[in-house]
Amino acid sequence: MSTRLFTRRLAGTAAAATAVALPLLAAPAVAAQPATGRPVPERPAPSTLYLTVSGPQQVWGHGARLTCDPNPRGSHPRAAEACAALDRANGDLDALPGDPGLCTMEHAPVTVSARGTHEGRPVTWEKTYPNSCALHRATGPVFDF
């Protein structure tokens, strides 16, 4: 085989490889789909809240982080229950189901706050209750830490 013929064959092979590779490189990206052909469900929007509870004149206080997607977690001791309560209220802390019951008329105000996101929506919320019993009756497990 002559050198000239070998160079032509090699050049033809490189051109063929380039012709095959270019359409693959230019092809649009396609979202991953399972073998069933149905689209992969979107991941839930983030839901992470930083919760605080503080006493009169902020003499004492404590806080917890609550993440509700995909699994309840964080430093909140009752994360699963708190996430369920938030889901029932559609993230509206004023609409939490709470726990019915009576409280004493003790005047020992507590202030609570929530900052972060619920299902991708920003949350900035703060409220003062007459005492911790009233707080827990109104908010259920969300501020129970």
Q: Is residue 84 within 8 Å of residue 96, measured between CB atoms?
A: no
- What predicted TM-score, i.e. pTM, was given to this entire model? 0.67
Q: What's the whole-number mean pLDDT along residues 1-12?
A: 46
Chain segment 54-63, per-residue pLDDT in tens: 998 778 999 9
Asked if residue 141 has a cis previous peptide bond (ω within 30° of 0), the answer is no
Chain segment 99-140, per-residue pLDDT in tens: 889 999 999 999 999 999 999 999 999 999 999 999 999 999
Q: What's the whole-number mean pLDDT along residues 69-91?
A: 94
User: Distance between CA 65 and CA 5 in Å, rounded?
Assistant: 72
User: Distance between CA 81 and CA 62 in Å, rounded?
Assistant: 19
The pLDDT of residue 98 is: 85
CATH code reported for the domain at 48-139:
3.30.350.10
In this structure, is the dihedral angle defined by the CA atoms of residues 139, 62, 79 and 123, taken in order, positive or negative? positive
User: Distance between CA 102 and CA 134 in Å, rounded?
Assistant: 8
In the chain, where the domains are located? 48-139
The phi and psi torsions of 96 (rounded to 5 degrees) equal -60, 140
Question: If pLDDT is split at 50, 70 and 90, which confidence band does 69 have?
Answer: confident
Chain segment 18-56, per-residue pLDDT in tens: 444 444 444 444 444 555 666 655 655 779 999 999 998
